[in-house]
Chains A and B, each alone.
Chain A
Amino acid sequence: MSLHELEKLGDQALLVAYANGSPKATVVLTKRLMPKIFAQAFHRLQSITDAEDVTQESFLRLWMIAPKWRKDEAKVTTWLYRVVENLCTDRLRKRPTVGLEGLPEIIDVKPSAMSVLGTQEQIKALHKALRKLPDRQRQAVQMRHLDEFSNPEIAQTLKTSVEGVESLISRGKQKLRILLAGNQIVLGDQDETL
């Protein structure tokens, strides 16, 4: 089978082809998924080295599970997403935590306060604020706005409904706006389940 024909196959079909010994399928699948996996890891970890390590580890686990992959299991992208999330969470736990206190002090509580920071600092502030959200809100917001998953895909990954995803995103973004405005309101709700 040529590369052109392999590129038309879905992720699961390519994974099965790899398990059956097709090196071309490996190349097509890796080139297709690697940028997204790397981006997801980089958004979480904000470090190229760590993101590459996590990406490599995630694919290694995929190759190991390939012979046992069942068609009725989750989609390859969903499965990989969960692996990357877990690996990133482990790495972040091992890092010394720097809370929002590490940011330059913002006295003005107006939303325009963020404009005093440069773009890079604003993006760092965004990522740190994301880590302050309850887990499911954070995952929903990151998957939608950083990883660019669709709402149905997010719903499948988080095992909730599309309406549930929309609610998580809405509340997550509301809290982000408050956090980024420099208003240190204690978040009342913890990790929400829907």
Chain B
Amino acid sequence: MKHSDQKSELHLETLFTQARKEVPSPSKALLDQILRNAQVQSQSKTRNRIHARTKQILHKINFLHNLDWIASIIGLTGATAFGLFFGIIIPGLETEIFKFLGLIPDITIDFMDPFEGLDFSYLE
């Protein structure tokens, strides 16, 4: 690099150094404003999250309401309870009830002698 180039390079470096020093300090008001903006953004996001969650819950409640949810739950619960009662707690109870109601005959078929109990005297 020529001497003149070195001189101008040095001059340029000096200019850059002076330009860096010329930058004023940012004001405290600017710092406060930036922090306020941060807080507002943070609160806005929290509100949006709560709002979204509330909307989800209200939507579910509305959905169940549209299904007449109270009657649905009572009916489903009752049906479940009866089913468990008949199927698990007292097995065979439904058979006795059906017999009582006459829905099924009160006879027992002996598969070893299927004709037992039948009267064939008219054939003699």
Contacts and interface: CB of A to CB of B under 8 A. Distances in A.
Interface string B1-29: 00011011101110110111011111100
Interface in B26-43: 26-27, 30-31, 33-35, 37-39, 41-42
A132 interface: no
Contacts of A55: 26, 30, 34
Nearest to A176: B12
A111 B4 contact: yes
Interface size class of A (residues with CB under 8 A): 35 or more
A42 B11 CA distance: 22
A97 B23 CA distance: 22
Given A55-B30, A146-B19, A114 B37 contact: no
A148 B20 contact: yes
A30 B7 CA distance: 40
A18 B42 CA distance: 8
A48 B97 CA distance: 93
B65 interface: no
B104 to A, nearest CB: 67
B97 to A, nearest CB: 62
Given A111-B7, A114-B11, A177-B12, A34 B34 contact: yes
Contact of B31 (A31, A111, A145, A180): A31
B46 interface: yes
B45 interface: yes
A110 to B, nearest CB: 9
B12 A64 contact: no
A21 interface: yes
A133 to B, nearest CB: 13
10 contacts: A26-B39, A34-B31, A48-B24, A55-B30, A59-B34, A60-B41, A111-B7, A111-B8, A123-B15, A180-B12
Interface of B: 4-5, 7-9, 11-13, 15-16, 18-20, 22-27, 30-31, 33-35, 37-39, 41-42, 45-46
